[in-house]
Chains A and B, each alone.
Chain A
Amino acid sequence: MAKSITVGDLDIYYGDFLAVQGVNMTIKARSVTAFIGPSGCGKSTFLRSLNRMHEVIPGARVEGKVVVDGQSLYDSAVDPVAVRRQIGMVFQRPNPFPTMSIYENVLAGNRLNSKKMKKAEADDIVERSLKGANLWNEVKDRLSKPGMGLSGGQQQRLCIARAIAVEPQVLLMDEPCSALDPISTSAIEDLIHELKSDYTIVIVTHNMQQAARVSDETGFFNLKAAGQPGHLVEFNATSKMFANPDNEATEAYISGRFG
Protein backbone atom coordinates (compact mmCIF):
# COMPACT_ATOMS: atom_id res chain seq x y z
CA MET A 1 0.00 0.00 0.00
CA ALA A 2 2.63 2.54 1.00
CA LYS A 3 4.88 3.64 -1.84
CA SER A 4 8.08 5.56 -2.29
CA ILE A 5 8.30 8.75 -4.35
CA THR A 6 11.22 9.75 -6.54
CA VAL A 7 11.48 13.35 -7.68
CA GLY A 8 13.89 14.30 -10.46
CA ASP A 9 14.83 17.85 -11.57
CA LEU A 10 11.41 19.21 -10.77
CA ASP A 11 10.66 22.80 -11.75
CA ILE A 12 7.27 24.23 -10.78
CA TYR A 13 5.80 27.23 -12.56
CA TYR A 14 2.84 29.52 -12.02
CA GLY A 15 2.40 30.84 -15.55
CA ASP A 16 5.82 32.24 -16.41
CA PHE A 17 6.88 32.54 -12.81
CA LEU A 18 9.28 29.83 -11.71
CA ALA A 19 8.31 29.08 -8.12
CA VAL A 20 10.46 26.08 -7.30
CA GLN A 21 13.56 24.99 -9.14
CA GLY A 22 15.50 21.78 -9.58
CA VAL A 23 14.28 19.55 -6.77
CA ASN A 24 15.75 16.06 -6.51
CA MET A 25 14.84 13.70 -3.69
CA THR A 26 13.65 10.23 -2.82
CA ILE A 27 10.89 9.91 -0.25
CA LYS A 28 10.97 6.54 1.45
CA ALA A 29 7.92 4.36 1.85
CA ARG A 30 6.52 3.91 5.38
CA SER A 31 8.39 6.87 6.80
CA VAL A 32 7.68 10.47 7.67
CA THR A 33 9.38 13.12 5.57
CA ALA A 34 9.17 16.72 6.74
CA PHE A 35 9.75 19.91 4.74
CA ILE A 36 10.85 23.02 6.59
CA GLY A 37 11.81 26.47 5.41
CA PRO A 38 10.76 30.12 5.53
CA SER A 39 7.38 31.28 4.22
CA GLY A 40 7.15 31.56 0.46
CA CYS A 41 10.05 29.20 -0.21
CA GLY A 42 7.85 26.82 -2.19
CA LYS A 43 7.59 23.89 0.19
CA SER A 44 3.78 23.86 0.07
CA THR A 45 3.86 24.30 -3.69
CA PHE A 46 6.22 21.35 -3.93
CA LEU A 47 3.99 19.27 -1.66
CA ARG A 48 0.97 20.05 -3.80
CA SER A 49 2.84 19.03 -6.93
CA LEU A 50 3.15 15.53 -5.45
CA ASN A 51 -0.56 14.87 -5.97
CA ARG A 52 -1.11 17.37 -8.79
CA MET A 53 -3.18 19.63 -6.53
CA HIS A 54 -1.22 22.70 -7.58
CA GLU A 55 -2.83 22.32 -11.04
CA VAL A 56 -6.06 23.59 -9.50
CA ILE A 57 -4.55 27.06 -9.84
CA PRO A 58 -4.84 28.19 -13.48
CA GLY A 59 -1.49 28.37 -15.25
CA ALA A 60 0.34 26.14 -12.81
CA ARG A 61 2.54 23.45 -14.39
CA VAL A 62 5.67 21.45 -13.75
CA GLU A 63 8.71 20.28 -15.65
CA GLY A 64 10.63 17.27 -14.47
CA LYS A 65 9.72 13.94 -13.02
CA VAL A 66 7.70 12.68 -10.09
CA VAL A 67 7.64 8.89 -9.98
CA VAL A 68 5.54 6.98 -7.49
CA ASP A 69 6.47 3.32 -7.40
CA GLY A 70 7.61 3.27 -11.02
CA GLN A 71 4.64 5.25 -12.34
CA SER A 72 5.30 8.80 -13.53
CA LEU A 73 2.61 11.14 -12.16
CA TYR A 74 2.94 13.61 -15.00
CA ASP A 75 2.72 11.10 -17.80
CA SER A 76 0.24 12.41 -20.37
CA ALA A 77 -1.88 9.27 -19.93
CA VAL A 78 -2.25 9.83 -16.19
CA ASP A 79 -5.48 11.42 -15.00
CA PRO A 80 -4.88 13.90 -12.14
CA VAL A 81 -8.15 12.74 -10.57
CA ALA A 82 -6.77 9.19 -10.37
CA VAL A 83 -3.53 10.51 -8.84
CA ARG A 84 -5.44 12.29 -6.09
CA ARG A 85 -7.36 9.14 -5.27
CA GLN A 86 -4.04 7.41 -4.61
CA ILE A 87 -2.32 10.27 -2.80
CA GLY A 88 -4.37 11.80 -0.02
CA MET A 89 -3.99 15.29 1.37
CA VAL A 90 -4.67 17.07 4.66
CA PHE A 91 -4.78 20.84 4.61
CA GLN A 92 -3.58 23.66 6.80
CA ARG A 93 -7.05 24.41 8.11
CA PRO A 94 -9.53 21.66 8.88
CA ASN A 95 -12.02 21.47 6.02
CA PRO A 96 -14.76 18.93 6.70
CA PHE A 97 -17.71 19.31 4.35
CA PRO A 98 -20.05 21.61 6.27
CA THR A 99 -23.30 20.02 5.15
CA MET A 100 -22.24 16.44 5.81
CA SER A 101 -22.44 14.44 9.01
CA ILE A 102 -19.30 13.00 10.60
CA TYR A 103 -20.21 9.64 9.09
CA GLU A 104 -20.69 11.03 5.59
CA ASN A 105 -17.52 13.10 5.82
CA VAL A 106 -15.44 10.00 6.45
CA LEU A 107 -17.05 8.23 3.51
CA ALA A 108 -16.87 11.18 1.09
CA GLY A 109 -13.87 9.78 -0.78
CA ASN A 110 -15.21 6.23 -0.87
CA ARG A 111 -18.48 7.46 -2.29
CA LEU A 112 -16.54 8.93 -5.20
CA ASN A 113 -14.64 5.73 -5.87
CA SER A 114 -17.43 3.20 -5.75
CA LYS A 115 -21.01 3.85 -6.63
CA LYS A 116 -22.60 1.27 -4.33
CA MET A 117 -21.52 0.27 -0.85
CA LYS A 118 -23.27 -2.04 1.55
CA LYS A 119 -24.25 -0.50 4.87
CA ALA A 120 -22.15 -2.96 6.85
CA GLU A 121 -19.16 -2.25 4.64
CA ALA A 122 -19.63 1.51 5.03
CA ASP A 123 -19.97 1.18 8.83
CA ASP A 124 -16.79 -0.83 8.83
CA ILE A 125 -14.82 1.78 6.86
CA VAL A 126 -16.09 4.59 9.10
CA GLU A 127 -15.12 2.78 12.28
CA ARG A 128 -11.72 1.69 10.98
CA SER A 129 -10.86 5.16 9.64
CA LEU A 130 -12.01 7.00 12.75
CA LYS A 131 -10.09 4.57 14.93
CA GLY A 132 -7.09 5.08 12.64
CA ALA A 133 -7.40 8.82 13.23
CA ASN A 134 -7.81 8.39 17.02
CA LEU A 135 -11.23 9.98 16.87
CA TRP A 136 -13.56 7.00 17.25
CA ASN A 137 -14.01 7.16 21.02
CA GLU A 138 -14.85 10.86 20.92
CA VAL A 139 -17.47 10.73 18.15
CA LYS A 140 -18.86 7.20 18.06
CA ASP A 141 -22.11 8.29 19.72
CA ARG A 142 -22.74 11.21 17.41
CA LEU A 143 -21.77 10.01 13.95
CA SER A 144 -24.88 11.55 12.43
CA LYS A 145 -24.06 15.04 13.77
CA PRO A 146 -22.43 17.59 11.44
CA GLY A 147 -18.64 17.48 11.20
CA MET A 148 -18.48 21.23 11.74
CA GLY A 149 -19.73 20.77 15.31
CA LEU A 150 -16.40 19.27 16.39
CA SER A 151 -13.49 21.22 17.84
CA GLY A 152 -10.68 22.32 15.52
CA GLY A 153 -8.39 19.47 16.50
CA GLN A 154 -11.20 16.93 16.14
CA GLN A 155 -12.11 18.38 12.76
CA GLN A 156 -8.52 17.97 11.60
CA ARG A 157 -8.50 14.35 12.75
CA LEU A 158 -11.80 13.91 10.93
CA CYS A 159 -10.08 15.18 7.78
CA ILE A 160 -7.28 12.68 8.35
CA ALA A 161 -9.87 9.93 8.79
CA ARG A 162 -11.47 11.04 5.54
CA ALA A 163 -8.11 10.91 3.79
CA ILE A 164 -7.17 7.46 5.05
CA ALA A 165 -10.66 6.00 4.47
CA VAL A 166 -9.76 5.47 0.82
CA GLU A 167 -6.48 3.74 1.82
CA PRO A 168 -4.14 5.98 -0.16
CA GLN A 169 -0.55 5.10 -0.94
CA VAL A 170 0.77 8.38 0.33
CA LEU A 171 -0.57 10.99 2.76
CA LEU A 172 0.45 14.61 2.22
CA MET A 173 0.01 17.05 5.10
CA ASP A 174 0.28 20.79 4.53
CA GLU A 175 0.97 22.36 7.95
CA PRO A 176 -1.75 20.20 9.53
CA CYS A 177 -1.28 21.67 13.01
CA SER A 178 -0.85 25.36 12.26
CA ALA A 179 -4.46 26.17 13.20
CA LEU A 180 -4.53 23.95 16.28
CA ASP A 181 -3.77 24.35 19.99
CA PRO A 182 -0.85 22.45 21.60
CA ILE A 183 -3.00 19.57 22.91
CA SER A 184 -4.61 18.93 19.53
CA THR A 185 -1.19 19.29 17.92
CA SER A 186 0.22 16.63 20.18
CA ALA A 187 -2.74 14.35 19.34
CA ILE A 188 -2.04 14.77 15.63
CA GLU A 189 1.68 14.16 16.09
CA ASP A 190 0.96 10.93 17.97
CA LEU A 191 -1.33 9.97 15.13
CA ILE A 192 1.37 10.62 12.54
CA HIS A 193 3.66 8.24 14.43
CA GLU A 194 1.02 5.53 14.28
CA LEU A 195 0.09 6.11 10.65
CA LYS A 196 3.71 5.76 9.62
CA SER A 197 3.54 1.97 9.82
CA ASP A 198 0.95 1.91 7.02
CA TYR A 199 1.47 5.03 4.97
CA THR A 200 4.15 7.13 3.37
CA ILE A 201 3.72 10.53 5.01
CA VAL A 202 5.01 13.85 3.77
CA ILE A 203 4.45 16.84 6.03
CA VAL A 204 5.14 20.54 5.62
CA THR A 205 5.63 22.39 8.88
CA HIS A 206 6.72 25.78 10.16
CA ASN A 207 7.45 24.28 13.51
CA MET A 208 10.98 22.91 13.61
CA GLN A 209 10.43 21.07 16.88
CA GLN A 210 7.55 19.35 15.18
CA ALA A 211 9.73 18.32 12.25
CA ALA A 212 12.32 17.01 14.70
CA ARG A 213 9.68 15.11 16.69
CA VAL A 214 7.71 13.43 13.93
CA SER A 215 9.96 12.94 10.92
CA ASP A 216 12.57 10.44 9.83
CA GLU A 217 13.95 12.62 7.08
CA THR A 218 13.85 16.37 6.60
CA GLY A 219 14.16 18.62 3.59
CA PHE A 220 15.09 22.28 4.00
CA PHE A 221 13.77 24.63 1.32
CA ASN A 222 14.94 28.20 0.89
CA LEU A 223 14.87 31.09 -1.56
CA LYS A 224 18.15 31.84 -3.28
CA ALA A 225 17.30 35.50 -2.89
CA ALA A 226 14.16 37.63 -2.80
CA GLY A 227 12.28 37.16 -6.10
CA GLN A 228 14.32 34.07 -6.97
CA PRO A 229 12.75 30.61 -7.11
CA GLY A 230 12.74 28.36 -4.08
CA HIS A 231 15.01 25.32 -4.06
CA LEU A 232 15.89 22.36 -1.92
CA VAL A 233 18.95 23.25 0.14
CA GLU A 234 19.47 20.04 2.01
CA PHE A 235 17.77 16.68 2.36
CA ASN A 236 18.98 14.38 5.10
CA ALA A 237 18.02 12.13 7.97
CA THR A 238 16.24 14.25 10.59
CA SER A 239 18.69 13.29 13.32
CA LYS A 240 21.57 14.54 11.20
CA MET A 241 19.73 17.68 10.03
CA PHE A 242 19.11 18.87 13.56
CA ALA A 243 22.44 17.81 15.04
CA ASN A 244 25.03 18.30 12.37
CA PRO A 245 23.66 19.54 9.02
CA ASP A 246 25.87 19.49 5.93
CA ASN A 247 24.87 22.95 4.81
CA GLU A 248 25.61 26.19 6.64
CA ALA A 249 22.30 27.75 5.64
CA THR A 250 20.45 24.81 7.18
CA GLU A 251 22.40 25.22 10.39
CA ALA A 252 21.62 28.93 10.44
CA TYR A 253 17.91 28.36 9.87
CA ILE A 254 17.58 25.60 12.43
CA SER A 255 19.45 27.45 15.11
CA GLY A 256 17.42 30.58 14.46
CA ARG A 257 20.29 32.66 13.07
CA PHE A 258 18.53 33.05 9.78
CA GLY A 259 18.59 35.97 7.42
Chain B
Amino acid sequence: MATIATDQKTGPARLGDRIFSGTALAAGIAILLALAGVFIFLAIEGVPGLAKPAEFYGEASNFWGYVAPLLFGTVLAAVIALIVAVPLAWGIALVVSHYAPKSIATPIAYVIDLLAAVPSVVFGLWGISVLARQLQPGYVWLDENMGWLPFFAGPASGTGRTILTAGLVLAIMILPIITAISREVFSQTPRLHEEAALALGATRWEMIRMAVFPYARSGMISAVMLGLGRALGETMAVAMVLSAGGGISLNLISSSNPASIASNIASNYKEGTPGKIQVLIATGLVLFLVTFLVNFAARWIVTRNERKLAR
Protein backbone atom coordinates (compact mmCIF):
# COMPACT_ATOMS: atom_id res chain seq x y z
CA MET B 1 0.00 0.00 0.00
CA ALA B 2 2.67 2.46 1.07
CA THR B 3 4.76 2.01 -2.04
CA ILE B 4 1.76 2.38 -4.29
CA ALA B 5 0.81 5.62 -2.57
CA THR B 6 4.28 7.10 -2.96
CA ASP B 7 4.43 5.96 -6.56
CA GLN B 8 1.27 7.89 -7.23
CA LYS B 9 2.70 10.99 -5.66
CA THR B 10 6.14 10.97 -7.27
CA GLY B 11 5.37 9.40 -10.62
CA PRO B 12 3.58 11.39 -13.32
CA ALA B 13 -0.18 11.01 -12.90
CA ARG B 14 -1.89 9.31 -15.81
CA LEU B 15 -3.91 11.59 -18.05
CA GLY B 16 -7.13 9.63 -17.48
CA ASP B 17 -6.75 9.86 -13.72
CA ARG B 18 -6.14 13.59 -13.92
CA ILE B 19 -9.18 14.18 -16.11
CA PHE B 20 -11.37 12.06 -13.90
CA SER B 21 -10.29 13.61 -10.62
CA GLY B 22 -10.60 17.08 -12.14
CA THR B 23 -14.15 16.41 -13.34
CA ALA B 24 -15.18 14.93 -10.02
CA LEU B 25 -13.71 17.88 -8.14
CA ALA B 26 -15.43 20.36 -10.47
CA ALA B 27 -18.77 18.62 -10.00
CA GLY B 28 -18.40 18.66 -6.24
CA ILE B 29 -17.45 22.32 -6.17
CA ALA B 30 -20.28 23.24 -8.53
CA ILE B 31 -22.85 21.80 -6.12
CA LEU B 32 -21.37 23.67 -3.18
CA LEU B 33 -21.27 26.88 -5.22
CA ALA B 34 -24.90 26.50 -6.28
CA LEU B 35 -25.94 25.91 -2.69
CA ALA B 36 -23.89 28.87 -1.46
CA GLY B 37 -25.33 31.00 -4.28
CA VAL B 38 -28.89 30.19 -3.26
CA PHE B 39 -28.09 30.94 0.35
CA ILE B 40 -26.42 34.25 -0.47
CA PHE B 41 -29.34 35.30 -2.66
CA LEU B 42 -31.84 34.42 0.06
CA ALA B 43 -29.80 36.22 2.69
CA ILE B 44 -29.25 39.44 0.70
CA GLU B 45 -32.80 39.69 -0.58
CA GLY B 46 -34.50 38.27 2.48
CA VAL B 47 -32.80 39.85 5.46
CA PRO B 48 -34.46 43.26 4.87
CA GLY B 49 -37.77 41.41 4.95
CA LEU B 50 -37.15 40.37 8.55
CA ALA B 51 -37.80 43.85 9.90
CA LYS B 52 -40.43 45.68 7.85
CA PRO B 53 -43.18 47.91 9.20
CA ALA B 54 -46.09 45.93 10.58
CA GLU B 55 -48.38 46.46 7.59
CA PHE B 56 -46.25 44.15 5.47
CA TYR B 57 -47.06 41.20 7.67
CA GLY B 58 -50.84 41.16 7.26
CA GLU B 59 -52.52 40.22 10.49
CA ALA B 60 -49.27 39.53 12.31
CA SER B 61 -47.32 42.32 13.95
CA ASN B 62 -43.78 41.16 13.08
CA PHE B 63 -41.94 38.73 10.85
CA TRP B 64 -41.87 35.85 13.28
CA GLY B 65 -45.58 36.12 13.87
CA TYR B 66 -46.00 36.01 10.10
CA VAL B 67 -43.74 33.06 9.40
CA ALA B 68 -44.65 30.86 12.39
CA PRO B 69 -48.05 29.65 11.07
CA LEU B 70 -46.53 29.11 7.62
CA LEU B 71 -43.68 27.09 9.09
CA PHE B 72 -46.15 25.15 11.17
CA GLY B 73 -48.28 24.43 8.10
CA THR B 74 -45.20 23.32 6.15
CA VAL B 75 -44.07 20.93 8.86
CA LEU B 76 -47.57 19.63 9.58
CA ALA B 77 -48.28 18.79 5.93
CA ALA B 78 -44.85 17.14 5.61
CA VAL B 79 -45.35 15.10 8.79
CA ILE B 80 -48.76 13.89 7.63
CA ALA B 81 -47.20 12.94 4.30
CA LEU B 82 -44.39 11.01 6.01
CA ILE B 83 -46.71 9.19 8.42
CA VAL B 84 -48.77 7.96 5.48
CA ALA B 85 -46.04 7.44 2.89
CA VAL B 86 -43.18 5.88 4.86
CA PRO B 87 -44.82 2.62 6.02
CA LEU B 88 -46.45 2.27 2.62
CA ALA B 89 -43.20 2.89 0.76
CA TRP B 90 -41.20 0.45 2.89
CA GLY B 91 -43.97 -2.12 2.47
CA ILE B 92 -43.97 -1.75 -1.30
CA ALA B 93 -40.18 -1.86 -1.38
CA LEU B 94 -40.17 -5.11 0.60
CA VAL B 95 -42.79 -6.66 -1.65
CA VAL B 96 -40.72 -5.76 -4.68
CA SER B 97 -37.37 -6.85 -3.23
CA HIS B 98 -38.29 -9.88 -1.10
CA TYR B 99 -41.87 -11.08 -1.43
CA ALA B 100 -43.29 -10.86 -4.92
CA PRO B 101 -42.07 -13.12 -7.71
CA LYS B 102 -40.02 -11.27 -10.30
CA SER B 103 -42.82 -11.27 -12.87
CA ILE B 104 -45.00 -9.16 -10.55
CA ALA B 105 -42.28 -7.19 -8.77
CA THR B 106 -40.82 -5.61 -11.91
CA PRO B 107 -44.09 -4.08 -13.17
CA ILE B 108 -44.93 -2.79 -9.66
CA ALA B 109 -41.54 -1.13 -9.39
CA TYR B 110 -41.99 0.38 -12.83
CA VAL B 111 -45.40 1.84 -12.03
CA ILE B 112 -44.14 3.34 -8.79
CA ASP B 113 -41.23 4.94 -10.62
CA LEU B 114 -43.69 6.37 -13.13
CA LEU B 115 -45.47 8.18 -10.30
CA ALA B 116 -42.31 10.22 -9.82
CA ALA B 117 -42.61 11.54 -13.36
CA VAL B 118 -46.10 13.03 -12.88
CA PRO B 119 -45.82 16.84 -12.62
CA SER B 120 -46.93 18.31 -9.32
CA VAL B 121 -49.54 20.50 -11.04
CA VAL B 122 -51.31 17.32 -12.10
CA PHE B 123 -51.27 16.02 -8.55
CA GLY B 124 -52.65 19.39 -7.45
CA LEU B 125 -55.51 19.26 -9.97
CA TRP B 126 -56.33 15.72 -8.97
CA GLY B 127 -56.19 16.72 -5.31
CA ILE B 128 -58.73 19.51 -5.79
CA SER B 129 -61.12 17.93 -8.20
CA VAL B 130 -61.11 14.30 -7.07
CA LEU B 131 -59.45 13.59 -3.75
CA ALA B 132 -60.78 16.61 -1.81
CA ARG B 133 -64.32 15.93 -2.94
CA GLN B 134 -64.11 12.23 -2.17
CA LEU B 135 -62.65 12.87 1.28
CA GLN B 136 -65.11 15.56 2.32
CA PRO B 137 -67.87 13.15 3.57
CA GLY B 138 -65.13 11.29 5.43
CA TYR B 139 -64.15 14.48 7.21
CA VAL B 140 -67.76 15.05 8.24
CA TRP B 141 -67.84 11.51 9.64
CA LEU B 142 -64.55 12.01 11.50
CA ASP B 143 -65.88 15.24 12.97
CA GLU B 144 -69.07 13.56 14.17
CA ASN B 145 -67.57 10.37 15.52
CA MET B 146 -64.02 11.21 16.53
CA GLY B 147 -64.40 14.90 17.27
CA TRP B 148 -63.02 14.35 20.77
CA LEU B 149 -59.55 14.02 19.21
CA PRO B 150 -58.01 17.49 18.72
CA PHE B 151 -57.05 16.48 15.15
CA PHE B 152 -60.68 16.02 14.15
CA ALA B 153 -62.26 18.78 16.22
CA GLY B 154 -63.97 20.25 13.17
CA PRO B 155 -66.10 21.87 11.98
CA ALA B 156 -65.41 19.82 8.87
CA SER B 157 -64.41 21.79 5.80
CA GLY B 158 -67.14 22.05 3.17
CA THR B 159 -64.70 21.71 0.26
CA GLY B 160 -62.41 19.01 1.66
CA ARG B 161 -59.42 21.20 0.79
CA THR B 162 -57.80 20.75 4.19
CA ILE B 163 -54.27 20.27 5.43
CA LEU B 164 -55.01 16.55 5.67
CA THR B 165 -55.89 16.40 1.97
CA ALA B 166 -52.74 18.32 1.16
CA GLY B 167 -50.71 15.92 3.31
CA LEU B 168 -52.22 12.92 1.52
CA VAL B 169 -51.42 14.38 -1.91
CA LEU B 170 -47.87 15.02 -0.70
CA ALA B 171 -47.70 11.44 0.56
CA ILE B 172 -48.43 10.13 -2.93
CA MET B 173 -45.85 12.49 -4.38
CA ILE B 174 -43.03 11.38 -2.06
CA LEU B 175 -43.95 7.70 -2.25
CA PRO B 176 -41.90 6.90 -5.38
CA ILE B 177 -38.59 8.30 -4.15
CA ILE B 178 -38.80 6.58 -0.76
CA THR B 179 -39.85 3.33 -2.41
CA ALA B 180 -37.16 3.41 -5.06
CA ILE B 181 -34.29 4.03 -2.65
CA SER B 182 -35.56 1.59 -0.02
CA ARG B 183 -36.05 -1.10 -2.65
CA GLU B 184 -32.50 -0.59 -3.84
CA VAL B 185 -30.95 -0.93 -0.37
CA PHE B 186 -33.21 -3.85 0.59
CA SER B 187 -32.18 -5.79 -2.47
CA GLN B 188 -28.50 -5.19 -1.73
CA THR B 189 -28.66 -7.04 1.57
CA PRO B 190 -25.85 -9.61 1.43
CA ARG B 191 -27.18 -13.07 0.65
CA LEU B 192 -24.88 -14.35 3.40
CA HIS B 193 -26.81 -12.48 6.11
CA GLU B 194 -30.17 -13.51 4.75
CA GLU B 195 -29.12 -17.15 4.69
CA ALA B 196 -27.72 -16.88 8.21
CA ALA B 197 -31.17 -15.90 9.43
CA LEU B 198 -33.04 -18.44 7.30
CA ALA B 199 -30.75 -21.29 8.38
CA LEU B 200 -31.61 -20.52 12.01
CA GLY B 201 -35.23 -21.15 11.16
CA ALA B 202 -36.37 -17.58 10.63
CA THR B 203 -39.57 -17.01 8.71
CA ARG B 204 -39.32 -14.54 5.88
CA TRP B 205 -40.50 -11.65 8.05
CA GLU B 206 -38.09 -12.63 10.83
CA MET B 207 -35.30 -12.81 8.28
CA ILE B 208 -36.19 -9.30 7.10
CA ARG B 209 -36.07 -8.02 10.66
CA MET B 210 -32.81 -9.81 11.51
CA ALA B 211 -30.85 -9.29 8.32
CA VAL B 212 -32.47 -6.80 5.94
CA PHE B 213 -33.53 -3.91 8.19
CA PRO B 214 -30.28 -3.65 10.17
CA TYR B 215 -28.29 -3.68 6.94
CA ALA B 216 -30.55 -1.18 5.19
CA ARG B 217 -31.17 1.18 8.08
CA SER B 218 -29.06 4.12 6.98
CA GLY B 219 -30.38 3.85 3.43
CA MET B 220 -33.95 3.77 4.74
CA ILE B 221 -33.31 6.97 6.70
CA SER B 222 -31.77 8.63 3.65
CA ALA B 223 -34.83 7.71 1.64
CA VAL B 224 -37.12 9.26 4.23
CA MET B 225 -34.98 12.40 4.32
CA LEU B 226 -35.20 12.84 0.57
CA GLY B 227 -38.96 12.36 0.78
CA LEU B 228 -39.17 14.85 3.63
CA GLY B 229 -37.13 17.36 1.67
CA ARG B 230 -39.53 17.11 -1.21
CA ALA B 231 -42.56 17.35 1.07
CA LEU B 232 -41.21 20.45 2.81
CA GLY B 233 -40.40 22.22 -0.42
CA GLU B 234 -43.37 21.16 -2.56
CA THR B 235 -45.12 24.23 -3.90
CA MET B 236 -47.72 23.77 -6.57
CA ALA B 237 -49.71 20.85 -5.24
CA VAL B 238 -50.05 22.37 -1.80
CA ALA B 239 -50.84 25.83 -3.17
CA MET B 240 -53.63 24.34 -5.27
CA VAL B 241 -55.11 21.86 -2.83
CA LEU B 242 -54.94 23.78 0.40
CA SER B 243 -57.47 26.54 0.98
CA ALA B 244 -55.30 28.56 3.31
CA GLY B 245 -56.40 30.87 6.06
CA GLY B 246 -56.06 30.77 9.79
CA GLY B 247 -53.31 30.23 12.28
CA ILE B 248 -51.60 27.43 14.09
CA SER B 249 -54.00 24.62 14.80
CA LEU B 250 -53.76 20.84 15.03
CA ASN B 251 -57.25 20.58 13.60
CA LEU B 252 -56.67 18.64 10.38
CA ILE B 253 -60.15 18.72 8.87
CA SER B 254 -61.43 22.26 9.33
CA SER B 255 -61.24 25.01 6.73
CA SER B 256 -58.82 27.13 8.77
CA ASN B 257 -55.41 25.84 7.70
CA PRO B 258 -52.12 27.65 7.72
CA ALA B 259 -50.51 27.62 4.24
CA SER B 260 -47.03 26.18 3.80
CA ILE B 261 -44.07 28.49 3.21
CA ALA B 262 -43.50 27.40 -0.37
CA SER B 263 -47.16 27.54 -1.36
CA ASN B 264 -47.51 30.93 0.30
CA ILE B 265 -44.64 32.26 -1.78
CA ALA B 266 -46.16 30.82 -4.94
CA SER B 267 -49.60 32.31 -4.32
CA ASN B 268 -48.37 35.79 -3.33
CA TYR B 269 -45.28 36.34 -5.44
CA LYS B 270 -46.90 37.69 -8.60
CA GLU B 271 -48.95 40.45 -7.06
CA GLY B 272 -46.32 41.35 -4.48
CA THR B 273 -44.84 44.80 -4.03
CA PRO B 274 -41.00 44.88 -3.67
CA GLY B 275 -41.36 45.15 0.11
CA LYS B 276 -43.78 42.23 0.24
CA ILE B 277 -41.46 40.18 -1.93
CA GLN B 278 -38.61 40.75 0.48
CA VAL B 279 -40.81 39.32 3.22
CA LEU B 280 -41.62 36.28 1.04
CA ILE B 281 -37.95 35.70 0.33
CA ALA B 282 -37.23 35.92 4.03
CA THR B 283 -39.75 33.10 4.59
CA GLY B 284 -37.88 31.19 1.89
CA LEU B 285 -34.69 31.70 3.87
CA VAL B 286 -36.40 30.21 6.92
CA LEU B 287 -37.50 27.16 4.88
CA PHE B 288 -33.98 26.75 3.52
CA LEU B 289 -32.48 26.79 7.01
CA VAL B 290 -35.10 24.42 8.43
CA THR B 291 -34.61 21.92 5.62
CA PHE B 292 -30.87 22.14 6.14
CA LEU B 293 -31.17 21.57 9.88
CA VAL B 294 -33.52 18.60 9.44
CA ASN B 295 -31.09 16.98 7.03
CA PHE B 296 -28.14 17.59 9.30
CA ALA B 297 -30.00 16.18 12.27
CA ALA B 298 -30.94 13.06 10.33
CA ARG B 299 -27.38 12.55 9.08
CA TRP B 300 -26.10 12.96 12.60
CA ILE B 301 -28.50 10.36 13.94
CA VAL B 302 -27.50 7.90 11.22
CA THR B 303 -23.75 8.34 11.67
CA ARG B 304 -24.06 8.16 15.45
CA ASN B 305 -25.89 4.83 15.11
CA GLU B 306 -23.29 3.53 12.73
CA ARG B 307 -20.42 4.54 14.94
CA LYS B 308 -22.03 2.70 17.81
CA LEU B 309 -22.09 -0.43 15.64
CA ALA B 310 -18.54 -0.18 14.41
CA ARG B 311 -16.23 -2.06 16.73
Contact = CB atoms under 8 A, between A and B. Distances in A.
A99 B306 CA distance: 9
Contacts of A97: 193, 196-197, 210-211, 214
Interface string B6-35: 000000000000000000000000000000
Nearest to B190: A95
A113 interface: yes
Interface stretch (A7-15, A84-92, A246-254): A84-92
A53 interface: yes
A109 B198 contact: no
B20 to A, nearest CB: 32
A148 interface: yes
A146 B309 contact: yes
Nearest to B214: A99
A98 interface: yes
A27 B98 CA distance: 34
A243 interface: no
B309 A162 contact: no
A86 B194 CA distance: 18
A95 B193 contact: yes
B311 A112 contact: no
B195 A53 contact: yes
A166 B192 contact: no
B198 A56 contact: yes
Given A98-B214, A98-B309, A149-B311, A159 B196 contact: yes
A85 B211 CA distance: 17
A108 B201 contact: no
Interface in B180-206: 190, 192-203, 206
Interface in A92-131: 93, 95-100, 108-109, 112-113
Nearest to B217: A99
B201 A109 contact: yes
A122 to B, nearest CB: 16
B200 A162 contact: yes
A28 interface: no
B112 to A, nearest CB: 22
Contact of A84 (B102, B193, B199, B310): B199
B58 interface: no
B274 interface: no
A82 interface: yes
A145 interface: yes
A184 B203 CA distance: 32
B215 interface: yes
B189 to A, nearest CB: 11
Contact of B202 (A81, A88, A95, A159): A81
Nearest to A51: B199
Nearest to A100: B214
Given A51-B199, A85-B200, A95-B195, A58 B101 contact: yes
Contacts of B201: 81-86, 109, 112-113, 166
Interface string A203-220: 000000000000000000
A91 B101 contact: no
A47 to B, nearest CB: 11
Nearest to A86: B201
A53 B199 contact: yes
Given A91-B192, A98-B193, A84 B198 contact: yes
Given A58-B101, A98-B193, A81 B215 contact: no
A149 B102 CA distance: 36
Contacts of B309: 98-99, 146
B214 to A, nearest CB: 4
Contacts of A148: 311
A95 B197 CA distance: 10
Among A51, A56, A82, A86, residue most surrounded by chain B Cβ atoms (within 10 Å): A56
A95 B211 CA distance: 11
A113 B201 CA distance: 8
A91 B199 contact: yes
Interface string B209-235: 011001101000000000000000000
Contact of B199 (A58, A89, A99): A89
Contacts of A95: 190, 192-193, 195-196
Interface in A143-193: 145-146, 148-149, 159, 162-163, 166
Q: List the 9 closest A-B pairs by CB distance, nearest first.
A: A85-B201, A99-B214, A149-B311, A89-B199, A109-B200, A84-B201, A95-B196, A95-B192, A81-B203
Given A84-B199, A97-B210, 14 more contacts: A51-B199, A56-B198, A58-B101, A86-B201, A95-B196, A96-B196, A97-B193, A97-B196, A98-B193, A99-B215, A100-B214, A112-B206, A146-B311, A159-B196
24 contacts: A53-B195, A53-B199, A81-B201, A82-B201, A83-B201, A84-B199, A84-B201, A86-B201, A91-B195, A93-B192, A95-B192, A95-B195, A96-B196, A98-B193, A98-B309, A99-B217, A108-B200, A109-B200, A109-B201, A112-B201, A113-B201, A145-B311, A146-B310, A149-B311
Interface of A: 51, 53, 56, 58, 81-86, 88-89, 91, 93, 95-100, 108-109, 112-113, 145-146, 148-149, 159, 162-163, 166
